Structure 1
Amino acid sequence: MNFLKSIAVAFSMYSRIPMPRFEWGSDDMKYHLIFFPWVGAVIGALEYGWYILSKSYSIENIVFTIIAMVIPIIITGGFHLDGFMDTSDALSSWGDKEKRLAILKDSHVGAFAIIHILILGLILFAAIYSLNSDCFIAWCFSFFIARIISGICVVKNKKAKTEGLLSTESNTADDKAVFVWLAVQFVICCILVNYLFKVQLTVMLLALLLSLAYYLHTAKSKFGGITGDLAGWFVCIAETLMAMALAIFSYL
């Protein structure tokens, strides 16, 4: 029962997929991060299904690309994009740490958030449009992988704030169990992708490592730790950089 509740909590928090309603307790939050990557697995499966459908009906590449971009937004409700936009505003403020953290809490959207989301969207569009078949299928795994790393960062890194959703998740989670199970999922996923797309996996992991280093440096130097918005920002950056790297590999 706790297993099923943890799945429901994870999908309720990080997706718009309908889940059974019940009153959450601290026990239900202990292991939900283990299932956070499976929201990405659903996105990846739908992306692959859309790829098969588009090939079967010879759908134009521009239409295919637009729908491929929209699928994650439909599943997550723009949850991570919200964090990306808030973080973009905070980083563009050139204020001190306290001001940046205050901007993260502000519900208003600034001009820099709009500019950055447009840039991110254009880059992602160009990347997906340029992917060959093998690289696109490999990219379908990026949603799962990015969320695994994001979950590990939540339980293993300093938090910038003592309140908020991320702090609550970290305080209620069984850090050791979550880390072990996320690490196991990461290894299994990499073994599978390596079997299918060995070179593409290497390209993706290099891009992931770059985005992770940038994420941790930004969190530490600009905010004093990670936050929920920064975690969403990282997921968006990681997925886009992996798509970019695979697009470059496609051309090469």
Structure 2
Amino acid sequence: MPRTPLPDSLRFAFGTLTVLPVRVTRWDRDAARGGMLCAPAAGLVVGLGAAAAGVLLLALGAGPLTAAVASAAVPAALTRGLHLDGLADTADGLGSGKPAEDALRIMKQSDIGPFGVITLLFVLLGQVAALAQAYGDSWGRGACAAVVSALAARLALTLAARAGVPPARPEGLGAAVAGVVPVRGALLVAALVLGVAAGTGALFGTYGPVRGPLAVLAACAAAELLLRHCVRRFGGVTGDVFGGLAETAATTALVVLSLG
């Protein structure tokens, strides 16, 4: 199996998953494999940015709710809202109840239907509410929640790009990354992310080494359920589905971190 140089992998990950000024120099299966394996690295940067925004506002005297809104807004801004748009399109496709071909056509339309609007509303409300509770407890819990949820969101993308998951269309980002990640590689990345989540909780002295990994596992389980449902309904994955998986995982992780 050809190996992609690490810079090309990071370029693919940051160039496709963030708005950071990184130029993707290679667009082939090897680069996609490395890029999807590095997806949690992009998530770490996004999560740190979200945590910094929330903590800064708290330091300036803002309340937990304002800090939570900022921490929820930063990931949306750093992805140009593509993951949220993908979530809405996936909700419209699933909610239509139509055969795969018609559902995929609905997902490609530029407008957002009622299922997409409702899904976006509740997902964003859930994210802000969970972050507000975390920041209300302490700045450390809020920062930890922002970082761990961003890591979980991008790990869900790595796992969804594993071998055996087919694309629903022959073109687009979904086709470019579907099935490129070896299962063993995906599991190794998952183990690394679990370790980072445990270390993050211990570093901030908030959730300790247990709550973070539990949140990541729950996030991956929720994303996996959605992934399997989408594969059954659409015949595979699309770029929109990947966006929906990321937002589902992030929201699940935040909810778990807010419990107790």
Q: Tell me whether 20-29 or 38-47 shows the greater mean CA deviation.
A: 20-29
- 1:70-99 superposed Cα distances (whole Å, 9 cap, x missing partner): 100111111211110110111111112232
Give the equivalent residue in structure 1 for 2:34.
31
Give the equivalent residue in structure 2 for 1:225.
236
Report the Cα distance in structure 1 between the residues aligned to 2:191 and 2:69, rounded to whole angstroms.
Answer: 33
Amino acid at match of 1:175: P
* 1:42-121 → structure 2 map (5 Å cutoff): 42-121=45-124
CA contact (8 A) 1:85 1:117 kept: yes
| Residue from 186, 193, 205 that aligns with 2:193 | 186
Q: Tell me whether 238-247 or 106-115 shows the greater mean CA deviation.
A: 106-115
Structure with higher RCO (Cα < 8 A, 6+ apart): 1
SS at structure 2 position matched to 1:155: coil
CA contact (8 A) 1:7 1:32 kept: yes
Distance 1:136 1:19, change over 3 A: same
Q: Tell me whether 185-194 or 56-65 shows the greater mean CA deviation.
A: 185-194
CA offset at residue 238 of structure 1?
A: 1.3
Distance 1:123 1:149, change over 3 A: closer
Give the equivalent residue in structure 1 for 2:8.
5
- 1:174-212 superposed Cα distances (whole Å, 9 cap, x missing partner): 636743652353243244246442342254145325413
Q: TM-score normalised to the size of structure 1? A: 0.85
CA contact (8 A) 1:33 1:178 kept: no
| Residue from 148, 156, 166 that aligns with 2:163 | 156
CA contact (8 A) 1:135 1:247 kept: no
Distance 1:193 1:225, change over 3 A: same
Q: Tell me whether 178-187 or 137-146 shows the greater mean CA deviation.
A: 178-187
CA offset at residue 29 of structure 1?
A: 3.2
CA RMSD across the alignment? 2.6
CA offset at residue 162 of structure 1?
A: 4.5
Amino acid at match of 1:44: G
Aligned length: 248
CA contact (8 A) 1:159 1:227 kept: no
Report the Cα distance in structure 2 between the residues aligned to 1:191 and 1:168, rounded to whole angstroms.
Answer: 32
Q: Tell me whether 107-116 or 68-77 shows the greater mean CA deviation.
A: 107-116
CA offset at residue 236 of structure 1?
A: 0.5
Give the equivalent residue in structure 1 for 2:154.
147
Distance 1:169 1:244, change over 3 A: same
- 1:9-57 superposed Cα distances (whole Å, 9 cap, x missing partner): 2211111000146464554334111221122111111122224323322
CA contact (8 A) 1:161 1:167 kept: yes
Report the Cα distance in structure 2 between the residues aligned to 1:174 and 1:241, rounded to whole angstroms.
Answer: 24
| Residue from 235, 238, 242 that aligns with 2:249 | 238
Distance 1:170 1:74, change over 3 A: same
Identity %: 23
Q: TM-score normalised to the size of structure 2? A: 0.82
